[in-house]
């Protein structure tokens, strides 16, 4: 297994309505984990023995503080660490930031999100208060995610936060043209520039309130059931089976090892190349990925090509993984 962290989208509700939100989260969203299913899912995650940490995200997990508190408590009772992703809307003053974090069972990682879209609602000082409170409580990992297409904006944000957080813990990601974000991108921001990197987000799977298992922690909730990135559902499948299927999928391995740009290059050598007029968001792997994997023709071609290319290696990895899992059990 690649990552020892698994994501749980606790709720799609959020007190903000950021213009770029690909989930279109907001106060009106009602999709969230029921307590019983939360308990069952965390028990299932723990029983796999594959994970050390659950990353609670949304929406905004702090907007459902009781649910978040139960989730952290359940994770802790199963000896799992708790990471939380948040905008920091609860950290208006140093005191309220500290009080809010102290009122939860211990959190091990705090991942804050900020950028010009978030800052239409949440001033950066809130994020600073949250960082300082997390430090005071010895939360061992604190990171900051900035969503932007503008290098100048990214540099300015990094400068602002550099007094509070080392550069290594500030990450930038591109805007994704989905949900409310579909209306935010300007014409000049559309380009054929591919991001020539593997997709690291495929190393972490996520579970939604409706118990869908997402192969990556990217914007894939709107994909149809049965799509390789929307890999299964805990109502009718075992978590380990779905995780193994994700690990063995030749197309997802291509994305994980090389990235969507490589899939596009491979398709360029076939009749099914994306049309030269197609444009993608520069620096946004997900835009290209969803364009390619959202098209059945591309999916079929990539599956045939990758099964031939990676088939033997995947068999070897699968058999090695089985040997490791069975090590010491006498099987």
Tell me how far, at minimum, the Cβ of 255 lies from ligand SF4, in Å: 5
Q: In what order do the strands lie in the sheet with 81-86?
A: 170-173, 141-147, 109-114, 81-86, 53-58, 5-11, 206-207, 212-214, 230-233
Among residues 80 and 246, whose Cβ is nearest to ligand SF4?
246
Hey, what are 314's tokens?
Answer: 């995947």
Hey, what are 105's tokens?
Answer: 């069972």
Q: Is 203 a residue that touches ligand SF4 (CB under 6 A)?
A: no
- List 130, 139, 251, 285, residue binding ligand SF4 (CB under 6 A): 285
Q: Is 286 a residue that touches ligand SF4 (CB under 6 A)?
A: yes
Q: Is 232 a residue that touches ligand SF4 (CB under 6 A)?
A: no
Whether the upstream peptide bond of residue 318 has omega within 30° of 0, thus cis, is no
Helix residue ranges per DSSP H, 190-283: 239-248, 250-257, 260-268
Tell me how far, at minimum, the Cβ of 74 lies from ligand SF4, in Å: 22
Q: Identify the bridge partners of residue 112 per DSSP, sorted by sequence position.
A: 86, 144
Residue count, binding to ligand SF4 (CB under 6 A)? 26
Among residues 80 and 228, whose Cβ is nearest to ligand SF4?
228
Q: Is 172 a residue that touches ligand SF4 (CB under 6 A)?
A: no
Q: Is 72 a residue that touches ligand SF4 (CB under 6 A)?
A: no
Of 211, 156, 291, 165, nearest in space to 10 by CA: 211
Q: Is 209 a residue that touches ligand SF4 (CB under 6 A)?
A: no
Contacts (CB under 6 A) with ligand SF4, residues 97-136: 113, 118
Q: Is 87 a residue that touches ligand SF4 (CB under 6 A)?
A: yes
Residue with tokens 């809130």: 126
- List 9, 14, 55, 68, residue binding ligand SF4 (CB under 6 A): 14
Q: Which among 15-23, 184-192, 243-251, 263-271 is the span making contact with ligand SF4, rule CB under 6 A?
A: 15-23
- List 75, 83, 234, 290, residue binding ligand SF4 (CB under 6 A): 290
Q: Which among 73-81, 182-190, 212-220, 294-302 is the span making contact with ligand SF4, rule CB under 6 A?
A: 212-220
Residue 38's Cβ-side half-sphere holds a number of Cα atoms within 13 Å equal to 21
- List 91, 202, 254, 263, residue binding ligand SF4 (CB under 6 A): 202
Tell me how far, at minimum, the Cβ of 19 lies from ligand SF4, in Å: 9
CA distance 290 to 300: 14
DSSP state of 185: -
Q: Which among 55-63, 65-73, 273-281, 302-310 is the span making contact with ligand SF4, rule CB under 6 A?
A: 55-63
Sign of CA dihedral 111, 116, 122, 124: positive
Q: Which among 29-37, 52-60, 136-144, 272-280 is the span making contact with ligand SF4, rule CB under 6 A?
A: 52-60
Among residues 80 and 286, whose Cβ is nearest to ligand SF4?
286
* 97-103: long-range pairs with CB below 8 Å, 24+: 97/126, 97/129, 97/130, 97/132, 97/133, 98/133, 98/136, 98/137, 100/62, 100/65, 100/133, 101/130, 101/133, 101/134, 101/137, 101/139, 102/137, 103/65, 103/69
Residue 121's Cβ-side half-sphere holds a number of Cα atoms within 13 Å equal to 17
Q: Which residues bind ligand SF4 (CB under 6 A)?
A: 14, 16-18, 21, 23, 25, 58-60, 87, 113, 118, 199, 201-202, 216, 218, 220, 229, 255, 260, 285-286, 289-290
């Amino acid at each position: 297994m690649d990552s020892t962290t698994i994501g749980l989208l606790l709720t799609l509700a959020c007190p903000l309505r950021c213009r770029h939100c690909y989930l279109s989260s907001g106060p009106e969203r009602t999709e969230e984990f029921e307590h019983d299913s939360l308990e069952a899912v965390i028990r299932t995650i723990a029983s796999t023995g594959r994970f050390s940490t659950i990353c609670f995200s949304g929406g905004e997990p702090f907007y459902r503080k009781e649910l978040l508190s139960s989730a952290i408590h359940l994770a802790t009772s199963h000896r799992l660490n708790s990471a939380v992703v948040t905008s920091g809307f609860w950290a208006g003053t140093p005191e309220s930031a500290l009080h809010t974090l102290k009122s939860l069972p211990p959190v091990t990682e705090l991942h804050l999100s900020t950028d010009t879209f978030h800052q239409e609602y949440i001033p950066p000082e809130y994020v600073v208060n949250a960082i300082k409170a997390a430090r005071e409580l010895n939360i061992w990992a604190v990171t900051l995610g900035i969503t932007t297409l503008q290098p100048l904006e990214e540099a300015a944000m990094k400068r602002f936060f550099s007094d509070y957080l080392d550069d290594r813990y500030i990450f930038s990601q591109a805007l994704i043209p989905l949900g409310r974000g579909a209306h935010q991108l300007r014409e000049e921001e559309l380009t054929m520039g591919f991001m020539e990197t593997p997709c690291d987000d495929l190393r972490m799977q996520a579970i939604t309130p409706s118990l869908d298992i997402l192969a990556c922690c990217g914007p894939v909730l709107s994909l149809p059931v049965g799509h390789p990135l929307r890999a299964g559902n805990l109502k009718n499948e075992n978590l380990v089976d779905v995780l193994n299927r994700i690990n063995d999928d030749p197309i997802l391995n291509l994305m994980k090892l090389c990235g969507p740009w490589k899939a596009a290059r491979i398709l360029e050598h076939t009749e099914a190349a994306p049309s030269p007029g197609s444009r993608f968001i520069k620096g946004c792997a997900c835009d290209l990925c969803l364009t390619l994997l959202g098209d059945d023709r591309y999916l079929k071609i990539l599956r045939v090509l990758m099964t031939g290319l990676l088939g033997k290696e995947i068999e070897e990895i699968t058999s090695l993984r089985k040997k490791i899992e069975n090590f010491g059990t006498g099987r």
